[in-house]
Structure 1
Amino acid sequence: MYKIGIVGGGIIGCAIAYFLGKLGESSIILFEKSYLSSGATGRCGGGIRQQWSSRENVRLAKRSVKFFERFEEELGVDIEYRQGGYLLLAFNEKEVEQFERNVQMQRNEGLNVEVLTKREVKKRYPFINTNGLKMATFCQKDGHANPHKATFAFANAAKDFGIKIYTREEVLDIQKERGNYRIITNKGEYICEVLVNAAGPWSKEIGKMMGVELPTESFRHQIFVTEPVEYFFPFMAISFSKNFYMRQTLHGNFIMGQGDKDEKPGINRNVTFRFEKEMAKKMVFFFPFLNELRVLRHWSGEYNMSPDAQPILGAKGNFFYAVGFSGHGFMLAPAVGEAIAELILFGKTLHSDISHLNLDRFKGKLEIERNVV
C-alpha cells in the first residue's frame, strides 16, 4: 500500500516524485514502462526558454529557470545547463506583430528580452543568412541542458528520499477499489491512495483507464544531429513560421528539428528520408556553415499535444494529471513538478498558479500558445 502512485518515468514524473520527497512524502511508487527518459523527454532537443506568447507559460518557465540555475547546487549533478539564450526569428509581418505583443507581455513579467533588427542580427551573428528576416528577439536567460542527466538526477534524488522507482514495468489497468486505486502492471499489483498521470505520449490511454477523457494526442517529431565542430553557437535559434529549431551541444554537434503538419496522431518512432532532405535543404539556406557537415544520427519522439498547446495540469478527485506539454515538458518540469506535488499534499499550490490549466478550461474559449514548432 502506497500513498501515491506515479505513471511515467520522464522528466515530469521524476520531478513530481522529487518534489514530493522534498516536501516529506516518501510513500510513493513510480512506474516506467521502459527505461527512465525513454519517451518524449529523452528524445527532445533540450531547450529551456521563457519567450512564450501566453503569460501562463512565461510564468511557469521563469519558475523553472530559477530552479535550473541552482540545479547542480541542489541535486549535485551537472546537467550541462547553459544560459546561451534563445534567438527567435520572425519572417513575416504577422509574426512581427505577434512578437511585439509577446515582448511587451514578457517584459511586464520581468523578462529581459531584446528586440533585434535584421541589421543587428546580421552584425551580431554574421554566420546566419538573414534573407527574408524581418526582426528577432533574444533572451539571454534562456538556454538548454541534457534531458537524460536531468531526469536521472531527479530520479536518484527521489530514491534517496525512499521513493520506489520501477522500470520495465508497464501499467496495464487501473481499478478503483474502496476509495483507492489498484494498479495492475505486467509484473504485479499495487494499491495507492492517489494516482498521478505523467505518462506523456500515453497520457490519453492512462486517463481512459481512470474514466477521465484527456484531450491529448501524440504526434511524431523528428530530429537529427550532425558531426561535431568547434563550439561557437551557444544559443538556440528557432523560427515558428519557417518551422525549425537548432542548437549546438557542448561537444560541438548541431541538433535540429521541425514539425510536420501532415503527421498523423499516434506513436510512430520510425524516421524518414524526406525529413532529412527537407531539414538539410532548409537549414543550409539559413545557416550556410552547415553545408559540409554530415548527419550522424536521426531519431524521432513525440509531442503530446493539447488543443491549445499548453499543458493540462490539475486533478479529478485523487487522480492528478500533468500532461499535454506540446513538446515543452522538459523546460517546464521543475515548476510543474513542484506545483503538482504541492497540490497533492496541500490541496493548493504555493508558488505557481496552475488553476487555469486544468481540464475545465476546455469548456470555454482557449488561448492558443503560438510559440510552438
Structure 2
Amino acid sequence: MKRTADAVIIGGGISGLSIAVHLAQKGVRNIVILEKRFPGSGATGRCGAGIRMQWGVELNCLLSKFSVDYFEHINDILKNDVDVEFWQGGYLIGAKTKEEAAQFKANVSLQNRLGIDSVYLSAKEAGDMMPHLDTSKIKAATFCGRDGHLNPFRTVQAFARAAADLGIDIEKYTTVTDIFSESGRVTGVRTDKGDILAPVVVNAAGGWAKAVADLAGVELPVYSRRHQILVTEPVEPLQSAMFMGFAWNIYIQQVPHGPFIMGRGDTSEPTDLRMTSSWQFLEQMSQTVMTLMPSLSRLKVIRQWAGLYNMTADAQPIYAETPELQGFYLACGFSGHGFMLAPATGQLMSQLILGETPDIDISSLHIDRFKGETPLPQESSVV
C-alpha cells in the first residue's frame, strides 16, 4: 500500500469510484481508494439501480439529467466496453391523490423547462402503457422515456476497470481507523494496514459516512436507515417501465432477464446500520403490490435483502469541503439516490477539489445549510 497520495477516497462504492475516475481524468495521478470490503459491496451492490430525471426540486433534476447523459455514453467516456445494461424503459410514476396529481403537473412543468422530456398522463393513459396496473388506484401519472435502470455490479466493474486503467489504487479489505490533521488541515489517514499521508481526503463512505466524519472530528448531520428490496422468479416480459408511487412508498421494475425487483421506503426502519431482512417488509410489500398490480400476486419471491440509505433532513446530498477541516471533503447524504447521481457526484466533487467552477451550482448543498434558517426545500419525490 502507498504511504503518500494526492487524494485518498474513503469508500469504494459507485460515488467513490466516480470521484476517483473524474479526478484522474483531470490529471490527478496519485489516488488511493480505501474500501473495507470490495468495490460495490455496500449500498451500491444492494440498490435497485434505477435512474430517473423526474424530480420535484430543480437541483435534483439537473444532477440526474447530467448522470443520464453520462450513462448513455459511459463506454466512450470510460474508454472500455463493459456493458452496464442501461435499459431505458422509462419511469411511470403514479399519483394517489388529487393533491399529488397537482404536484406532478408542477413537477412536469419544472422538468420540461430544464430540458427533461417528461409528460403528464391521465389514469387511462397510464393504464394503456401498463395494462396490469389497477388504474382505479391512481388519479394521474407522469412518464419519462429516458429514465431506466442499470446493472449495479456491471456499472461498478466499468468504473473499477477505468480506475485501473488510470492508475488508481483500490485497497480492498482495508479499514480506516483514524484521520490525521494539523492546524485545521487534513494530513492523512490511518488504516489497519498502515498510514497514508495526503492533503485531500474524501468521505464517500455511504452508510458509514457519519462514522468516518467522527474520525475527523466533524459533526455530520446524516443518519443511515435500512432499505429493503426483493426479487422474484423470472417471467415473460410484462412491463418495460419502472412503476413508482411516492404515496405508496414503492417501486416495481422488471429487469431484462425477467425477474421483478421491488423496494419500498419506510420511515420506521431501524437506523442502527443493520442490513438484515424482515418478514414485515415482505408482508407489507406483498400487500401493496397486490393492491396496485393484482396479476403479480402469484409471483414467487426468490430472495430479499437490505442496504442503507444515508439520509439528510431535506433528502438532498451534501457536496462540500468541511469548514472546520480544510482538505476534508464530503460526498454523502444521498438519501437513496447515490447510484443515479454518481456521474454528477464525480464531476462536481472533482471540480470542487481542484478549485474549478462546478458545471452545476452546488453551493446550496454545502453542509452549512443545516446550520442556517433558510433550509433547502425538501425533496418529496423519494421512496
Is the pair's TM-score, using the shorter chain for normalization, greater than 0.5?
Answer: yes
Q: Is the 8 A contact 2:123 2:141 kept in 1?
A: yes
| Distance apart, 1:251 and its partner CA | 0.9
Percent identity for Structure 1 against Structure 2: 44
Distance in 1 between residues matched to 2:126 and 2:191, nearest whole Å:
53
Runs of 5+ consecutive residues of structure 2 not aligned to the other structure: none
- Distance, in Å, in 1 between the alignment partners of 2:186 and 2:374 is 34
The 1:40–1:116 alpha-carbon spacing in structure 2 relative to 1, beyond 3 Å, is same
Q: 1:207 maps to what in 2? A: 213
2:170 to 165, 186, 189: 165
Q: Name the structure 2 match of 1:334.
A: 343
Unaligned runs of 5+ in 1: none
Aligned residue identity for 2:28? E
Q: CA RMSD in A?
A: 1.2
What does residue 2 of structure 1 align with?
A: 5
Question: Which 10-residue stretch deviates more, 152-161 or 251-260?
Answer: 152-161
Q: Which residue of 2 aligns with 1:343?
A: 352
Q: Distance in 1 between matches of 2:192 and 2:45?
A: 23
Cα deviation, residue 11, structure 1: 0.4
Alpha-carbon distance in structure 1 between the residues aligned to 2:334 and 2:261: 21
The 2-side partners of 1:298 and 1:39 are apart by 15
How far did 1:55 drift?
0.2
Question: Would the aligned equivalents of 1:52 and 1:58 in 2 still touch at CA under 8 Å?
Answer: yes
Letter in 2 for 1:86: Y
From 113, 117, 123, the counterpart of 2:122:
117
Scaled by the length of structure 2, what TM-score is found? 0.95
**In 2, are the aligned partners of 1:61 and 1:331 still within 8 Å (CA)?**
yes
Give the corresponding residue for 1:51: 54
Give the 3-state SS of the residue equivalent to 2:115 in structure 1. coil
Which secondary structure does the structure 2 equivalent of 1:121 belong to?
Answer: helix
Q: Distance in 2 between matches of 1:105 and 1:74?
A: 29
Q: Map Cα deviations across residues 286-331 of structure 1 (whole Å, 9 max, x no partner).
A: 1122122100010000000011000010112211110000000000
Q: 8 Å contact 2:92–2:126 — kept in the other structure?
A: no
Which 10-residue stretch deviates more, 51-60 or 119-128? 119-128
Matched-pair contact (CA < 8 Å) for 2:90–2:143? yes
> 1:51-83, CA deviations, whole angstroms, 9 ceiling, x for partnerless residues?
011100000101111100001233321100011
CA apart distance, 1:94: 2.0
Q: 1:16 to 1:68 in 2, by over 3 A?
A: same
What's 1:72 paired with?
Answer: 75
Output aligned runs, 1:352-371, within 5 Å: 352-362=360-370, 363-366=372-375, 367-371=377-381
Partner of 2:152: 147
- Partner residue of 1:41 out of 44, 51, 55: 44
Q: Which of 137, 140, 164 is matched with 2:142 structurally?
A: 137
- Structure 2 counterpart of 1:361, which letter? R
Which 4+ stretches in 1 moved above 3 angstroms?
Answer: 177-180
CA contact (8 A) 1:88 1:138 kept: yes
Kindly indicate whether the alpha-carbon contact (under 8 Å) linking 2:188 and 2:201 is maintained by their aligned counterparts in 1. no
Decide which of 311, 319, 342 is 1:305's aligned counterpart.
Answer: 311
Deviation at 1:177, TM superposition (A): 4.1
Letter of the structure 2 residue corresponding to residue 338 of structure 1 = Q
User: Which moves more between the two structures, 95-104 or 240-249?
Assistant: 95-104
- Name the SS of the counterpart of 1:221 in structure 2: strand
- Cα distance in 1 for partners of 2:345, 2:56 equals 18
| Letter aligned with residue 235 of structure 1 | A
Distance 1:233 1:132, change over 3 A: closer
- Measure the CA separation in 2 of the matches of 1:164 and 1:99: 44
The aligned counterpart of 2:261 is: 255
Question: Partners of 1:62 and 1:357 in 2: how far apart?
Answer: 17
1:32 aligned onto 2:35: yes
Judge which range, 90-99 or 41-50, deviates more.
Answer: 90-99
Q: In 2, Cα distance between the equivalents of 1:267 and 1:144?
A: 26
Give the match for residue 204 of structure 2. 198
Q: Return the offset for 1:189.
A: 1.2
Q: What's the CA shift for 1:349?
A: 3.2
Cα deviation per residue 1:126-173 (whole Å; 9 max; x = unaligned)? 111112210000001111101121122112211211111101001111
For 2:303 and 2:125, the matched residues in 1 are separated by 34
**1:232 aligned residue:** 238
State how far apart, in whole Å, the 2-side matches of 1:101 and 1:134 are: 15
Equivalent pair of 2:234/2:258 in contact (CA under 8 Å): yes
1:352 Cα offset (Å): 2.1
Distance 1:349 1:236 in 2: 35
Query: Does the aligned pair in 1 maintain the 2:319–2:330 contact within 8 Å?
Result: yes
**In structure 1, C-alpha distance between the alignment counterparts of 2:105 and 2:239, rounded to whole Å:** 25
Q: How many aligned positions are there?
A: 372
Q: Counterpart amino acid of 1:213?
A: E
How far is the alpha carbon of 1:353 from its aligned partner? 1.9
Question: Which of 267, 274, 282 is the equivalent residue of 1:276?
Answer: 282
Query: 2:137·2:292 contact (CA, 8 Å) conserved in 1?
Result: no
